[in-house]
Structures are given as structure tokens and as C-alpha cells.
Chains A and B, each alone.
Chain A
Amino acid sequence: NAGVTQTPKFQVLKTGQSMTLQCAQDMNHEYMSWYRQDPGMGLRLIHYSVGAGITDQGEVPNGYNVSRSTTEDFPLRLLSAAPSQTSVYFCASSLLQGGETQYFGPGTRLLVL
């Protein structure tokens, strides 16, 4: 199993550009989520999904969109990038029932100029 994979690893954007951060898992996990990690602030939940076709907002959803068309994939879209979105983004997945462990991807480091 590859676990949770994220692409790209690094990205530089100009203000106003859009892009999609990819996340995929091969563990048949129902639950997937996106976090951003900023210095001194831990990880903050952006969006999450409990299954294909179901998504919901987390703590900091503004400026981000998600969709869940398959169990495996959970892309995060930045509609119009802003410098405040410079961060490291992590995708995570877990089982819903009996699955206490969340598995994190390696992260995408994003710089918005």
C-alpha cells in the first residue's frame, strides 16, 4: 500500500492564481480531511469528507473548495490564491468505524507571492 499520497510536494503561485492540491489513499478509508499547518499554530482543519459525495467545512474553509467523487481521491482547490494561504497542507485519512488512527500524507508546501 502506498498509504496517503499528495502532489505536488512544492508549489509557488502568484496572487490570484488557482490550483488543485491532489490527495489519494489506497486503504479504502471513508474519512478524508485537509489541514493546513502554520508556524506556532499546529494543524487546522480546512475541509473533511465522511464518504464519496459528502463534504463539510472545518475550522478554516474560506478560499478553499473540495469534492469527493471517489473513495480514493480528495482534491483541495484554491480558487484565487492569496499570500495568507502560504502554508504546508496535509491530507489525512482514516476509517470511520473502529479506526482511531489518522494517516497523514507527506504534505504540500505552498508559497503564494
Chain B
Amino acid sequence: TQLLEQSPQFLSIQEGENLTVYCNSSSVFSSLQWYRQEPGEGPVLLVTVVTGGEVKKLKRLTFQFGDARKDSSLHITAAQPGDTGLYLCAGLASGSARQLTFGSGTQLTVLP
């Protein structure tokens, strides 16, 4: 069973601060996805990274896939209260159809 360890589990910061969330595994994934989930709703895809070393930016969010495709990070610059939510990483293994392995999630709270 492939595992994804996500850290930190909880993060509470002030508006304007920067933060980084980490997603680590001992397994290689063909791609890595980041989702955001609001209370009472299903996860919504933010980004997919496919190539080792790839960096993608989505406004104030920067996503990086490790060179060995075993880890990923999400960096948020100048966090805003609207960034509050549960952030989940999910890996897609080679040869699988669409079965995702999810990390345990990071609950982010940005205080005004």
C-alpha cells in the first residue's frame, strides 16, 4: 500500500503570512494532485503535477513536485482568510486507472 504523509496536520496563521505544506512518500507516483476542501463539500482539484521537478503557480499558490516524484509541496504567499480550508495531496500510481492515494490533509486557518 502506498502511503502519503502530509504535514503539518493543523496550521493556524495570521493574514499576510507565508506557509508551506508538505506531502511525502517512499513511493514513486506518476502524478501528484492537490485538492482543497471546504466544510460540507467534496474536494476540488487545484493542480496536477506530472514531471519531476515541476513547479506550477496558481496566483499566490506555488506547487512543486520533487525530482524523484516521491514528494510535493504547496507554498502560499501572503495568506488570506479565504485560503482557509482542508488541503489534501493525492498521488496517482503508475499503471493504475484513476485510483488516488490521499494524504491525511492539512487544516489551514488564516486569521484576519
Contact = CB atoms under 8 A, between A and B. Distances in A.
B99 A42 contact: no
Interface of A: 4, 31, 33, 35, 40-45, 48, 50, 58-59, 90, 92, 94, 96, 99-102, 104-107
Interface residues of B, number: 24
A104 B44 CA distance: 7
B42 to A, nearest CB: 3
Interface of B: 1, 4, 6, 9, 31, 33, 40-45, 48, 88, 90, 97-105
A109 B36 CA distance: 19
A11 to B, nearest CB: 15
B102 A50 contact: no
A35 B99 CA distance: 10
List of 3 A-B pairs having minimum Cβ-Cβ separation, nearest first: A104-B42, A42-B102, A43-B102
A100 B33 contact: yes
Contacts of A58: 99
Contacts of B98: 31, 33, 48, 50, 94, 96, 99, 102
Given A40-B9, A100-B31, A102-B45, A45 B100 contact: yes
Contact of A42 (B1, B31, B88): B88
24 contacts: A4-B42, A33-B98, A35-B102, A40-B104, A42-B6, A42-B102, A42-B103, A42-B104, A43-B43, A43-B100, A45-B101, A48-B97, A48-B99, A90-B42, A92-B42, A96-B97, A100-B33, A100-B45, A101-B45, A102-B45, A105-B42, A106-B42, A107-B40, A107-B41
